[in-house]
Structure 1
């Protein structure tokens, strides 16, 4: 009887200690797959069911396209980014797209690393990583930072530049700064635009080139112009700096003399000035 009572009391002590003492928390692991649907993960109530269904229908169309693209969407708080992720010091200044240091790029790399290993953790090889990278697109929104980032698949990444990204987010990025429902509408609209573009790109036989030729030309021209502008300024100063414009500079005696004497105005105006001084008052 006493031994049973001691055992019961020991159990109560252990149970009380477990409830009172702080529990050990495990480091968050970055999510790599959906929890409300196959391609959508959200750590809070965010998208409506209609929005989720629409986004999943878009993913079905992408998966059935020639290049079998998919777009995974993650709605996360910063602490869900995992213990290994560190937000850059200038987080809001980095690229919103195709940057390995932004949340979308980090999750994309995590997905690729995970899918490139077998059940025992062994690496499947470079070909497996390239295959995953070819079709996995990742869109991440962090409401606390009002930040939307995107990492495109290797097959479609060449289509994304600053101009294209601004076009995709135009009119809806401002919604990301408002209420939760407004944020959901903004992310949904932008994701829909991305998926429509991805669907067109996924019908191609070859990957999109990194940049369009005219953009490359303009960038090279701008760089060349910027690099040579100091030399151009020096040449202009040396070539035209000492030449008189013929317009008197009333703020400089040398300008008065140089501008007038070169065009033989000085002698004539001297006579006029002398006559003026000889006039009686």
Structure 2
């Protein structure tokens, strides 16, 4: 056989002369068409339904609604701060060699994760039925009904519940750090607490930040449960309005709008934090 009749090798093929054939992704286009159709039907249903959108626009920036929005924001931040402090302390206690601290942290997480949030809110709000007065006998006492207001009950209910979930998230982040680094910190004379503060917890942040961001977003929505005990969040204030004008769906759309705005802003902030804490790790993985 003549050498000129032999098949060309891969290096000898003129790639520029080859025809580029795009893959035909019929399933992808079909899925896009179905999703657009369903979205269009949904939008059309709400647009042509018996909803007075002008009422929704009128109450979108109503002072009472904006006050409820501010209450939702600050109570969420306060409860998350309480949850972070308690969560980190419980995670450290769970990893402690002291069995008393370890089992106390386990019991705390078991109780607050095992009961519904709304039940915890109701228990705190009705605590006066069990303890009519709170304080230190002989020094100072006060009526429980005056001390446990809707705000205090919300802080206790949501903050303590968030602490239980945060403790498990932080503990998972601590377990993700290689055990050799713990041993290395002991070898250079670091104490257990110093090792946690300077070695374990900083590295655990890369694993902890994404689920904590999700927990904060969920907490924003859980604040709506506090409306059942009288806390004036955005949902409670919207309900107070539609009890008067009977525009139920229109006012609920106002609340839905502001929840979507808050969640969208928090999602952007969470993505930025994830990039910040994952910079070094991502560069190592790419190399």
Given the two structures, how large is their TM-score scaled by the length of structure 2?
A: 0.26
Identify the structure with bigger relative contact order (alpha carbons < 8 Å, sequence gap 6+). Answer: 2
Q: Which protein has the larger Cα radius of gyration, Structure 1 or Structure 2?
A: 1
Query: Which is richer in helix?
Result: 2
Q: Give the TM-score, by structure 1 length.
A: 0.26
Higher strand proportion: 1
